[in-house]
Chain A
Amino acid sequence: MGRTWAIIERELRRFRRSPVLIAMSMTMPIVQLVVLGYAFGGNVKHLKVAVVDQDHGVPAVKVRELASAMSSGARTIDILEYTDSGVAIADLRNGRVNGVLTIPPDFSRRVLARNQPRVALIEDNTDNFVSSALAATLGSMLVTYNQPAMTPRISTAAGLDVVEIYPYVPYIQYLLPGSVVMSIFMMVMIGGGIIFIDDKARGLHEGYLVTPIKKLELIAGFNISGTIKAVIAGMFLVLVGSLIAGVPSPFDPMRLVRLLVVVVVTAFALISLMFLLMVRVSDPLLPRAVFGILNTVLYFPSGAVYPQQGFPGWMQVIAIADPFTYAVHAFKSLLLKNTGFAAIAYDLGFLMIFAAVAMTAATLLFKRTL
């Protein structure tokens, strides 16, 4: 055990003296959290809508007044009055406006005749977010248009009441679990993978292989020290990330204990994966090349940025095997829903079995001689 501790001591002393490594592993996930959180989390605003009124009747004017009211209220849309629909559509194609609302010449006549009056929205559908926001806004505007001025006291139409059992979760909080797992992975990649292979290539391992240290002691030393470094990165992200994302009661002690357990188990699972991948590698270029791919393949299918239910079949298969999926799910439960261990038992179980299998395989493959 003393020899294992010597290896751990050596690794942690080196870690303490490598400020760049520490800074990169902790800063990058925070930057990603903030930038992605705010880039994706917002609502689109100030979409330019060209209104072409070809009717000028009273109902048409009412539509235009509603549109102006919407644009001065929520500001989702900005109204621009056009007289010529040809010019409006040309501007749509040039990107000067995001949509064209055309009130056709027979609109008022059809309203009075109760004969399916239609208003047309011509939109630029190359940007999905914009076009769906426009359709939703103008759709709800027409719903308002259609409602009578006075509502009857007893309603016979079925309505939907929405009740949210958790406090509102802005997108940046939704991203936080993924960022915590990402910081653990980055520390494992750089501190565990890249440094390990660089040392091997520089011949540093030979210095240790000639000592009487046993194979298991060497493996335990490297992996325990890697886990400790990754836990430090993970807890840093949990605390700082919770503050940045505005997670309620970030320093709740019971929750911190549960979070620590998940961080430790995740760190150990990821370092086992890393060790298995690197155990027979000696080329320092390989981990650098592989990690970029691995990062993407593990992070996005885990449901960290977008729910799994939206994935195609093949990606759902990746998600099932991906340790990130379980880690992200566990962190979501703890950070966003503040659950107990029961809700995350399955995730912890998977991660521990994953770690055991990966570490066993790596230990069998590890060579005590060159």
Chain B
Amino acid sequence: MSAIDVQSIVKKFGDFTAVNGISFAVEDGEIFGLLGPNGAGKSTLIRMLVTLLPPTAGTALVNGFDIRKQADGVRQSIGVIPQAMTSDLELSVEENLIIFAKLYGVPRQKRERLIDELLEAVELTKWRSAPVKNLSGGMRRRVEIARGLVHEPRIFFLDEPTTGLDPVSRVAVWEMLQRIKSQRDLTILITTHYMDEADKLCDRIAIVDHGDLKALDSPLKLKTSIPGTNTLEVSFSRTPPDWAERLERLPDVERVTAHETVFRIVSLNGPRTTLSLMEMAASEGITVLSLAVQSTTLDDVFVHYTGRALRDALQDVNPMDRQGFMVRRQ
């Protein structure tokens, strides 16, 4: 039995379809990622799985419980970190954990032991009596991670856990999650729009865009599944009118896209293309101002499956933002 079994789940808000019939299964003990830009439907999807939103059609089984008919069973089995910071500012770190433990009916002795263990796991033992409002964003997230695990759930959901955090805190949260996972029997589902996060943490990634599931596999297999292994980013001192076409005719070049003055060249053989590119530029008396060569990233995977770059997709206006006043991050 899979930990999570999503069956053709659909969510519509009026005329707008946020999730368009997605199906997948998450195995026990996996770290599973939903990767996609804002508005892709991943937050909507995770909210349905944690019983915050009722689905319009379809259903899902979480730890064997149906999210529509056995919501209580689902809630007892899962820990959730929603996207917004939901820890209570006026309470101390420890009080936040105690209240939640009581909500899940954790008996007192077990509760005290677990709180000590979790505070150590998230490295907040020194801060246990500090009011949460005195903590930084990264530390608050760690409080929420501890809080989500205080009743020893089997499945842990995190909705954009490092959005809004500084780079150092993000790495700390990743390390914490990996360490916690190694010490416990836990299945984790994360939604994110950060490629590095998905790449680093997840055993398998589902790419989601505009409510559809576009691809699903491990990061490595996703990267090797698409043609074109290198991406060159080049800028030139000047560009003659047909420069893009001439670049495309270089050996091993798959595709050329121009972003203002920077040309992105996807090539099957980076070094060979680089050599011929330098020769062509030199022969025209054009100076290469900058050159960078990258191996395939998840962004390339994303472009391949959705037709646009993940970072460009992030610029799109999120239709969910029009849904009224909701502050998502502190």
Contacts and interface: CB of A to CB of B under 8 A. Distances in A.
B53 interface: yes
Chain B interface residue number, banded: 20 to 34
A209 B51 CA distance: 8
B103 A208 contact: yes
A370 B47 contact: yes
* Interface of B: prevailing SS: loop
Given A14-B91, A201-B326, A210-B51, A3 B105 contact: yes
Interface in B67-110: 72, 75-76, 78, 80, 82-88, 90-91, 95, 99-100, 102-105
B328 A9 contact: no
A86 interface: no
Contacts of A7: 103
Contact of B76 (A6, A10, A201, A212): A212
Contact of B99 (A9, A202, A283): A9
B131 interface: yes
A42 interface: no
A165 to B, nearest CB: 50
Contact of B82 (A6, A206, A213, A282): A206
Interface in A206-235: 206-213
Contact of B88 (A10, A213, A369): A10
Contacts of B53: 369-370
A6 B324 contact: no
Contacts of A6: 99, 102-103
Given A210-B75, A211-B75, A282-B324, A3 B102 contact: yes
A204 interface: yes
A207 B82 contact: yes
B160 to A, nearest CB: 12
A18 to B, nearest CB: 6
B325 interface: yes
B327 interface: yes
Contacts of B78: 210
Given A17-B131, A211-B104, A213-B103, A206 B324 contact: no
B271 interface: no
Interface of A: 2-3, 5-7, 9-10, 13-14, 17-18, 201-204, 206-213, 282-284, 369-370
Interface of B: 47, 50-54, 72, 75-76, 78, 80, 82-88, 90-91, 95, 99-100, 102-105, 131, 324-328, 330
